[in-house]
Chains A and B, each alone.
Chain A
Amino acid sequence: MIAAAGPHPVIPDFGPVSRCVQDNGFFCTDWFTANWDSVFWPALVQHVRLTVMAVGIGFVLAFAAALLAHFKGWLERPVGGFTAFLYTIPPLALFELLVPGTGVSVLTVEIALVAYTLMVLFKNTLTGLREVPPDVRRVGEGMGLTRRQILVRIELPLAIPSILSGLRIATVTTISTVEIAAFIIDQGLGSPILQGLQSPFNTQFVAAGALAVALALAADGLIVLVGRLLTPWTHARRAV
């Protein structure tokens, strides 16, 4: 199979395409490797870029909103309600609904993608900030920490696990939604899927689909790993 993709096929008489491709198998490794550089790798890079941008912007917005709501409790309901409303709109519909305003552009896609991250990031950040046990907060106050010091030294570190679990969900959801963005812009792993769907040839859309799944699982695992490094106290085992 590698032979077909390489410069000097071992069996030259076999022809330009492999048996698998001729028979339209479920997944043809040779075709996949041959098209990696031209099709899959660029799409993967675009996919990651769109995802990182959306989750990054979404995180900044949601974090700021959660901090505000942490200090001004009445903000929680309206902000939470609005982000939940955004989250409920089906992605394809939201993309299309934005097109008349912002056109067929990356901007359109990013607005929608960011909108989807807000609910879970806002909710998890706020929950995390409130996770501090009351007695811990009381002692913090009692030992003379200022409101700011309590936020920075106690509330934020203790919120990390909840914030990270929000980031996990938001990242994985965004990776999934970026595929749908291919209906609007010709970017990301959704593009080869949609192009592949135009013809009966399986490998292209199956491979792009599998790549997206792998990307989501990898991102999920990566965030879990970072989380473990950032929160050593959550898995310190009792040694007594």
Chain B
Amino acid sequence: MANQGQSAAEIVFDRATKVYRGAPAPAVDELSMTVPAGEICVLLGPSGSGKTTALTMVNRLVEPTSGDIRIDGVSVAEQDATGLRRRIGYVIQQIGLFPHMTIEENVATVPQVLGWKRDRIRDRVRELLDLVGLPPREYGGRYPAQLSGGQRQRVGIARALAADPPVMLMDEPFGALDPITREHMQDEFLRLHEQVRKTTLFVSHDMDEAVKMGDRIAIFREGGHLVQYDAPERILTAPADDFVARFIGADRGLKALTLRRVGDLPLEPADATPDTAPLAATETLHTALSALMTSGTDRLPVADGDGRLVGTVTLDLIRAEAGRPAPHEGEVA
């Protein structure tokens, strides 16, 4: 995308702490972590664990009581709050589209207040609507009330991307959508992120979503403590403590299988004449295991993108892979 020029920025939390007035304990307690430029970091935890507070300290909707947050080395506290927010995309669960503005006008809001030229705004809005899969010809002139929930959140994301901000803050963006739409939006956002590579903080309370979306996951517990900050794979295979283990659930071994692909296994040679339909090599091990269970056999053929058989996956192979320790931090893509 020619227009997605601005590079992503690194976000550093440096002992950031928030104590709300009158509250006995901090909402966020000495949070320190670094989110590398261009990555998606999921803030995960039960309600009351301070993840939304941590998120909104970045765009200063909440001011830290102590500590600091830096974007590309510059403290947010030193920047004018309004200007700072215009350089940060912000998406929330309720979406908050302006009901009296058309879809185009909603997306154009920040470019307008930034004083962009009319033509540039129009081009940018169209580009973004295309990017999120809402053809501007068809949708640009509609009002939010005329869209479905999933379409509205696409607009919400397009609006957040409008001024090409290096940072995106997403507060449970897909939390209000039905499961099918949610999954679809997750895939769409990952595809989008491939193209625009914004540093993204993503609040969630859903472990599956975190594993799917996050390059890294930061797990919080009540009282705003960060208990583990790691790649999804590491969190699933090596939870830092009992709290994390309980939070990610007893089926964490199964969840870990969603992170690995059939094609990455040292497959057994393909059978000459398989009697069942083949699995795609791009399927996750989770899907493969499920297919094995329902097929009633312990081996299934695997095909590549062109439908050629490339090998056979077996229960033993999956079991061996599940027991393998996760790669260390930094080795994940």
Contact = CB atoms under 8 A, between A and B. Distances in A.
Q: Do A and B come from one complex?
A: yes
Interface of A: 133, 135-146, 149, 153-154, 157-158, 231-233, 236-240
Contact of A136 (B85, B96, B145, B148): B96
A143 B146 contact: no
B100 A233 contact: yes
A189 to B, nearest CB: 38
A76 B151 CA distance: 39
A233 B98 CA distance: 10
Most central of A139, A145, A154 by chain B CB within 10 Å:
A139
Nearest to A145: B113
A142 B82 contact: no
B143 A233 contact: yes
B142 interface: yes
B258 interface: no
Interface string B111-151: 00100000000000000000000000000001101111001
B98 A154 contact: yes
Given A139-B90, A149-B113, A236-B145, A144 B83 contact: yes
Contacts of A236: 142-143, 145-146
The 3 tightest CB contacts between A and B, nearest first, are: A144-B85, A139-B96, A144-B86
B59 interface: yes
21 contacts: A139-B92, A139-B156, A140-B98, A141-B61, A142-B56, A142-B169, A143-B85, A143-B89, A143-B90, A143-B160, A144-B84, A144-B113, A145-B82, A233-B99, A233-B100, A236-B146, A238-B145, A239-B142, A240-B147, A240-B148, A240-B151
B251 to A, nearest CB: 34
A138 B96 contact: yes
B97 interface: yes
A145 B109 contact: yes
Nearest to A231: B100
Given A135-B96, A146-B82, A158-B100, 16 more contacts: A133-B96, A139-B92, A142-B56, A143-B109, A143-B110, A143-B159, A143-B160, A144-B85, A144-B86, A145-B113, A154-B100, A157-B100, A231-B100, A233-B143, A240-B146, A240-B147
Interface of B: 56, 59, 61, 81-90, 92, 94-101, 109-110, 113, 142-143, 145-148, 151, 156, 159-160, 169
Given A136-B97, A143-B86, A153 B59 contact: no
A20 to B, nearest CB: 54
B51 to A, nearest CB: 16
A10 to B, nearest CB: 59
Contacts of B109: 143, 145, 153
B304 to A, nearest CB: 38
A144 to B, nearest CB: 3
Nearest to A236: B143
Contact of B85 (A133, A141, A239, A240): A141
Most central of A133, A136, A144, A154 by chain B CB within 10 Å:
A144
Contacts of A146: 82
A232 B101 CA distance: 9
Contact of A233 (B82, B84, B145): B145
Contacts of B145: 233, 236, 238
A240 B134 CA distance: 13
Nearest to B81: A144
A102 B101 CA distance: 48
B16 to A, nearest CB: 18
A137 B147 CA distance: 20
B61 A239 contact: no
Nearest to B90: A142
Contacts of A153: 98, 109
Contact of B61 (A142, A154, A232, A237): A142
B94 A135 contact: yes
Contacts of A140: 96, 98
Contacts of B96: 133, 135-140
Contacts of B159: 143
A231 B101 CA distance: 10
A147 to B, nearest CB: 9
A238 B110 contact: no
Contacts of A239: 142, 146
Given A153-B109, A158-B99, A240-B148, A138 B92 contact: yes
Contacts of B84: 144
B240 to A, nearest CB: 32
A149 B114 CA distance: 12
